[in-house]
A and B are shown apart, each in its own frame.
Chain A
């Protein structure tokens, strides 16, 4: 049923979009241009990764941690080199790593193991917690994040919070949280807001206020409709795949697009009218209240400004890859306009982006065929006046896919 509705919707929009594009034939000039990542480094099994399916990536200073389907890798960023790999034969408790976070205080690395529970790498040794030897609610851990001294795990049967100092485990499910479904896909902690965010398959986003122990849920007002009937009214679907909160903005990814919420207003981020390469998004990483990186099945979509709404899509093609810059040239425009196309060579090593992280000027994309590291030399946030570094788009060609 869902597929049918999507197809019908797509067909309707396919008819309507050229009309909209025609309507903006007299397009305006872009109001500034964003930074475009043109320098990319790539890591696959050929240069040291234990597996090409990269499920998790976390940058911490000079260390870049990469979780794959069959092992963990540490990349030394100064050397741009995989310097260490751990697989089960090296003591890694389980082969598949779906989530990584680093305890900034102790330097310990926490790993969410996709089917194997939770692990900590400390002093080159692993500790292992799972359903049988600990209070972890389920061994299928999708994501892991540090909140103060607690470790939160998003699992397929609820969220677990572990305090390594006291050894106490807490479990959050439908029993004690407004969690209609318990399939937790992702977890994030916003230290500024002191809140934990859970992305839940079928239950939207749950926000946990650490100071008050209170929950706030964000769901799709359209209920279980597979299309977003009313834009900008909430999370665009209850099947949420990722969430990130930064500088007062919450970015949400789903298999039906993306959403931004600033505490007052919702902003739906669709693909066909907007800048997402695809509706199908595996995850999202926020860099600021203005910038977030969406991980889609057709490349990475970075929304880099809201005024005017501007995106850079990093996609692949037969020649390598392109960065497509899109902007809403006039507030009343229903679609974004391509304002620049930059040939980047291979950016993300594969179109299917699973995870992303940003630190400093750089961006890191975990894909189903290796890791892409966008080196942000001269990076600047949002927009600025600069000459075109890529090809100008053909006139009158509005954003379409």
Chain B
């Protein structure tokens, strides 16, 4: 085997030559004006933590800068995420889970939240909230006293001196926050004054008194708050350390730096600075007066009155094993304080009365949170997912016909209804946002797709218990078991693929490529084929009509067999096979997105219908609409076992259409090929020929299924928490089965109903949800303007997590959702009377709570991969490949500023197309950007790569043309993590 260094060193010769060339270049690079020496020296600055700053920046000689920070709200920014209001805000923003884990929240409530672990010193603590380095930059390279004494040198080493406008990157009015805490826009002038911490002219660096070098003594020692917080600042322990941080105890030492403290000291005849006076420190610090050998290095006087002030020095009882044994902890020194314990310091302190019982309540820090109080105000309410609603989506009848199983999205549960009794009999907790359910052929097991958790729950039908959870792709929707019962097929909408699961081993065998956002699927009667619908059209050339795919799978081999196309159609959703096996019916929309919305032609903006996918690969389309009465959002379809009738649901108009299948097929077969291709798919007058009845339902009917005996159809009413029972013989609704959700309609739930209702549009053509299925996108570019000549096409944008990303509209002219969805919506979209103010408020409240799915490329708290980390450097770079500084306004990070990765401004990035009237557009947020192709304001870029390889020829959308291909790949890998 040959080692490289045994070869004639040709490469080395090149390298030497290159090195000679690079030396002068490197000198120029290092000495380029304005370039921080940090980078030039090849050093990456790291966050050192507030305690490192405190070493020099406190004491009278430095104007008590550190104490001032401790007394301010910035120091409690992270701890404030434990407040119930924070959870309300995150709920309002569609941020699932704990705010402490959300990059969105941490982006402004902590320092260096987007830094890599290696970019944080061991002494750095996120719990310090917004500390010095949040505004002044990571300090490792400028923190040395010699550097800091020379401002220019310090700035070259990375010190940043923020301006007032920089505060606004976090402190702009966020609707989610304003709705909860009711605070107006921050007065930055006042705030600036409030947090002012000028360095005195005769500065003399100083910090809090340290313990110094001591001999550690035997026995219990003080460990400091961080040691306690390691366990007691977790969700499991109800974030007790945060609760301490929010109390005055945490500021007990810092408060001694205030003029008031000096006054009190003076009144008491004390002459020294209070922070150095034993009489003050006795109650304003922890363990004061103890031998220095009784303190571990982690204990700091600056922490004030800490856990150990009441519970005793913790070194002996702090190990988890000891703390889990209360008796052992007591023996090791854990003190359980009483109200009496407080009196030593608080009784008559500074002439104040002290109610110990009240005080104990005030600082209570139980290990378990109190029962959640579901606050509700006139302006907002909690999202449906936390209100007790069920939101049934799809359903399946057990093979023996005895029960209907319903996947309920909001309650994360599966509800079971007895078919004969027409009663709910059980509810089983499954994963997050269950969407659909399927049975094995023998009915022994059922499977539920959990679209929030990217998993499938396997349920033992007899025991009604979840027996296994199977990881699948992103955002699973429809699922079906093949005829032999060996394979389960799961449609992963967000990753746009199909998991094939071996049901014996409950193991994913493979992923098959679907088209875009696969939704639902059905097994052919002979068990050989599965047809799967795809909600979004394939990516078509700019300004070309949609082409959506029906993915055909070989059900026994588990392979893709064919890909059928439905031209001009999108939002393909429900699908069912005719018992003859000759064809399958599927629901569809036909969106006229290429013509201005002013045109009333063949159905004005969106028509709704059924598709016929023939076994031989042909596809027909018919409309379910009537000329003045549209069938908005055809969502699901089920065919009776005898093949005579099909039931199709209209989510937007609260109806089920009963289709005479024979008449439908007859209509098609008698038509010419040209009519089938060009006339019938757009013909509003044909539905009357095959729809034999409509069945009214409560709000937002979605899933529909027919019992094996063909007598009954069940419809899941998504926003009524009920099933409608349809008697197939009489084609009429005969019962409503309540699934158990609350009867009260909250403000947000009302908004959700309005969002899914077509009552707001002319002739009930469509609803908000038509273009935003699952609150997301339909992947189309629209001509919304009333110009009538097809200019200014704009890409549809997701509604997931849009709160606080204002302004809205691609031109950035709508400062709020109320403006976006108010009269303007009526003028340009819906063409009838706008929402009333009350309705608008409700729609807005619902819209902002549409959950933002977790990022699939970086789990919360996960480290970046090597490629992502390299991409981050590219994203944040300040200099191009040639060493020249990139103008601030042309850096990625300037416009796409974390945590939303938008500075909420309008910019011209050179993306103006000849169809556009102007070239200045809103800077979009980048969260979960990977799942909302196409890109740019007009959707002209199919992929993230194309934004820069095709549509940034003059470096106007960031400096990117100097990048090598691998750098661009790294950048994209990073963008996918945001």
Contacts and interface: CB of A to CB of B under 8 A. Distances in A.
B968 A135 contact: yes
Contacts of B17: none
Interface stretch (B346-354, B579-587, B941-949): B941-949
A219 B2 contact: yes
A135 B297 CA distance: 50
Interface string B652-674: 00000000000000000000000
Contacts of A360: none
Interface of A is mostly: loop
Main secondary structure of the interface of B (DSSP, over half): mixed
A223 B563 CA distance: 52
B960 to A, nearest CB: 13
A104 to B, nearest CB: 10
Interface in A311-336: none
A128 to B, nearest CB: 10
Contacts, number: 95
B509 interface: yes
Nearest to A121: B560
A237 interface: no
Contact of B942 (A123, A133, A170): A133
B497 interface: yes
A105 B509 CA distance: 8
B709 to A, nearest CB: 35
A199 to B, nearest CB: 16
Contacts of B950: 132
A369 interface: no
Given A107-B559, A131-B965, A170 B867 contact: yes
Interface stretch (A161-169, A280-288, A383-391): A161-169
B497 A173 contact: no
A28 B510 CA distance: 55
Contacts of B497: 165
A123 B509 contact: no
Contact of A223 (B7, B473, B552, B969): B7
A95 interface: no
B559 A106 contact: yes
Interface in B946-978: 946, 949-950, 964-966, 968-969, 972-973, 976
A134 B562 contact: no
A135 B549 CA distance: 25
A385 B549 CA distance: 58
Given A133-B946, A135-B969, A135-B972, A107 B4 contact: no
Contacts of B557: 107
Given A108-B513, A131-B965, A168-B973, A216 B1 contact: yes
A165 B867 contact: no
Nearest to B968: A135
A178 B5 CA distance: 11
A123 B561 contact: yes
B477 interface: no
Contact of B8 (A122, A169, A178, A223): A223
Given A105-B510, A137-B965, A221-B7, A132 B2 contact: no
Contacts of B965: 131, 135, 137-138, 157, 171
B932 interface: no
Interface string A27-71: 000000000000000000000000000000000000000000000
Contacts of A123: 551-552, 560-563
B4 A178 contact: yes
A106 B511 contact: yes
Nearest to B948: A132
B264 to A, nearest CB: 62
A234 B563 CA distance: 49
Contacts of B463: none
Given A131-B949, A217-B2, A165 B969 contact: no
A169 B560 CA distance: 24
Contacts of B972: 135
A107 B560 CA distance: 8
A300 to B, nearest CB: 29
Interface in A104-141: 105-108, 120, 122-125, 127, 131-135, 137-138
Nearest to B552: A123
Interface in A179-237: 180, 216-219, 221, 223-224, 234
A346 to B, nearest CB: 36
B11 interface: yes
Given A132-B950, A137-B965, A171-B969, A106 B867 contact: no
A105 B557 CA distance: 10
B943 A124 contact: no
B10 interface: yes
Given A125-B563, A180-B11, A168 B867 contact: yes
Contacts of A401: none
A170 B511 contact: no
A41 to B, nearest CB: 27
B509 A175 contact: no
Interface string A235-267: 000000000000000000000000000010000
B512 interface: yes
Contacts of B942: 133
A234 B4 CA distance: 12
A120 B560 CA distance: 12
Contacts of B867: 168, 170
A152 B657 CA distance: 50
B6 interface: yes
Interface in A259-301: 263
B593 interface: no
Contacts of A157: 965
Nearest to B942: A133
B495 interface: yes
A132 B560 contact: no
B949 A133 contact: yes
A123 B550 CA distance: 11
Nearest to A204: B2
A133 B509 contact: no
Contacts of A125: 549, 563
B966 A132 contact: no
A132 B513 CA distance: 21
Which of A108, A122, A164, A178 is the most central at the interface, judged by chain B CB atoms within 10 Å of its CB? A122
B560 A108 contact: yes
A138 B969 CA distance: 13
Contacts of A166: 857
B511 A132 contact: no
B2 A124 contact: no
Contacts of A178: 4
Given A123-B563, A170-B867, A134 B943 contact: yes
A149 B557 CA distance: 18
A29 to B, nearest CB: 37
A127 B7 contact: no
A217 B4 contact: yes
Given A131-B965, A171-B969, A165 B563 contact: no
Nearest to A238: B7
Contacts of A132: 945-946, 949-950
B495 A165 contact: yes
Those 5 A-B pairs whose CB atoms lie nearest each other, nearest first: A123-B560, A123-B563, A135-B969, A171-B966, A107-B559
23 contacts: A107-B559, A107-B560, A108-B513, A108-B560, A122-B560, A123-B563, A133-B943, A133-B945, A133-B946, A133-B949, A134-B943, A134-B945, A135-B965, A135-B972, A164-B513, A168-B969, A168-B973, A175-B966, A180-B11, A218-B1, A219-B2, A219-B7, A221-B2
Interface of B: 1-2, 4, 6-8, 10-11, 473, 495, 497, 509-513, 549, 551-552, 557, 559-563, 857, 867, 930, 942-943, 945-946, 949-950, 964-966, 968-969, 972-973, 976
Given A105-B509, A165-B497, A221-B7, 11 more contacts: A106-B560, A122-B560, A122-B563, A123-B563, A131-B965, A132-B950, A135-B965, A138-B965, A165-B495, A168-B867, A223-B10
